[in-house]
A and B are shown apart, each in its own frame.
Chain A
Amino acid sequence: MFLRKRDLRVVAVSRRMFLSLSALLLVPLRKKKMRALSQPLQRSDTGYPYPGPIKRIDEQEMKRPSTWAG
């Protein structure tokens, strides 16, 4: 069975209404679970390791100007 153009519009509007209502209902629930943090913990305080590879400190390389911009 094929839907007529008018029926399709009704479906689209109902879908939008459903999504808006679900968003209204879900946002407060989501906020309750969230925590806003202004000051993240620092690695030195918490012992979280750097996730990437560690390279050795090379003072000779540091003395050369960078090839990065800035």
Chain B
Amino acid sequence: MTVQCDLCPKACIIAPGQSGECRIRVNIDGRLVAVSYGHPCAVHLDPVEKKPIFHFLPGTDILSIATVGCNLHCLNCQNWEISQENPENVAAQELLPEQLIALAQKFGCQSMAYTYTEPLVFYEYTLACSMKAREAGLRNILVTAGYLNEEPLRRLFAYVDGAQIDIKAMSESFYQDVCDASLGPVLNACVLAKEMGLLLEVTNLVIPTLNDSEADLRRLTRWIVSHLGADTPLHFSRFHPQYRMQNLPPTPAEILQLARTIAQEEGLHYVYIGNLSLPDAENTYCPECNALLIERRGFTVINNNLKDGKCFCGKEIYGLWQ
């Protein structure tokens, strides 16, 4: 019997023996099975700054996991060896949620990250691990493209503390041509995360000629200011030629600096540049008195001057600090 998956907006109709576009939701004898459940292909202890998440327990290590699969097919995917591959071809470890949380505790982690590929398509595993982590007093972070239907997203967000959502461009045609997806559900996911009280940070990978015009950058930052608030941290990330997009050069540093200037002009308080070493580009400053609050180099926190989440001047800084 053919089944239809109603997890993400793609609404795949799946014939027996076949999988949805994400490659891991399979029709087995008329039953939809999440075949990567309990089988992460990547489990690593990363600095939380690597996600990148800058306003969440800075300087801590986070146990980060992924299974194979993704519902987007970005031409520039950085992790395509695991996101765009069938589970048959990717080795995985057998780790049920309770075993994973026990490992996180053993490593002394305060939080878990569901990342690398697309945690929303290994949904059942992400949800079960998040619930177990909550019970154990750990926090949960999603690093995601945010392409999911509202109902399952609400169910998952109830157990999640923070999200790093990738807004790839403020253009429907970009989403269709480069990612094989659409923009609307991603923006809805950002608004929902904010509404449900998650700590939200946004990333935008700036790709030369595709989403790097001043108009593109202003549209993105204006939307963030008006719909998510000026306190939402925004990370502009440098593009490197990858996967099926080898024809474009890496993003010039000047474009990333221009993007940062535009975002600050539009009113965003915390704007960072990633994948590129530039002085000051990863530091957090107080939006009130401009004092240097958190100094970072690469994924390392050099100095953290925050006291109870506040600046010297008393300004409360957006984030989850303890």
State the A residues within 8 Å of B (CB): 30, 33-44, 46, 48, 50-57, 59, 61-66, 68-70
Indicate if the CB atoms of B46 and A40 lie closer than 8 Å: no
Please pick, from A38, A51, A65, A69, the residue contacting B44 in the complex, using a CB distance under 8 A. Answer: A65
Cα(A61)–Cα(B41), bound, Å? 12
Given A38-B6, A50-B87, A70-B116, A43:B35 Cβ within 8 A: yes
User: How far, in Å, is A42 (CB) from chain B's closest CB?
Assistant: 5
Indicate if the CB atoms of A40 and B124 lie closer than 8 Å: yes
Interface residues of B in 1-24 (CB under 8 A from A): 1-7, 13
What residues of A have a CB within 8 angstroms of the CB of B248 in the complex? none
Q: How large is the interface on B (under 10, 10 to 19, 20 to 34, 35 or more residues)?
A: 35 or more
Can you name the residue of chain B whose Cβ is closest to the Cβ of A55?
B91
Cα(A68)–Cα(B36), bound, Å? 18
Given A43-B34, A62-B43; 8 other pairs, CB 8 A cutoff: A37-B4, A44-B38, A52-B88, A54-B91, A62-B103, A65-B47, A68-B44, A70-B78
Does B31 sit at the interface, judged by CB under 8 A? yes
Indicate if the CB atoms of A37 and B45 lie closer than 8 Å: no
Cα(A56)–Cα(B125), bound, Å? 19
Cα(A41)–Cα(B35), bound, Å? 9
Indicate if the CB atoms of A44 and B87 lie closer than 8 Å: no
Cα(A43)–Cα(B128), bound, Å? 12
Indicate if the CB atoms of B45 and A64 lie closer than 8 Å: yes
Chain A proximity mask over B19-57: 1 for CB below 8 Å, otherwise 0: 000000100101111111111001111110011000000
State the B residues within 8 Å of A (CB): 1-7, 13, 25, 28, 30-39, 42-47, 50-51, 63-64, 66, 68, 78-79, 82, 86-96, 103, 107, 115-116, 124-125, 128, 143, 151-152, 299
Indicate if the CB atoms of A50 and B28 lie closer than 8 Å: no
Cα(A35)–Cα(B3), bound, Å? 5
User: How far, in Å, is B95 (CB) from chain A's closest CB?
Assistant: 7
Given A35-B30, A48-B35, A50-B94, A66:B116 Cβ within 8 A: yes
Can you name the residue of chain B whose Cβ is closest to the Cβ of A59?
B103
What residues of B have a CB within 8 angstroms of the CB of A53 in the complex? 90-92
Cα(A8)–Cα(B18), bound, Å? 39
Between-chain CB contacts (< 8 Å), 27 pairs: A30-B2, A35-B1, A35-B2, A35-B3, A36-B3, A36-B6, A37-B5, A38-B152, A40-B33, A42-B128, A43-B37, A50-B38, A52-B68, A54-B91, A54-B94, A57-B94, A57-B95, A61-B44, A62-B103, A65-B45, A65-B299, A66-B42, A66-B64, A68-B82, A69-B78, A70-B51, A70-B115
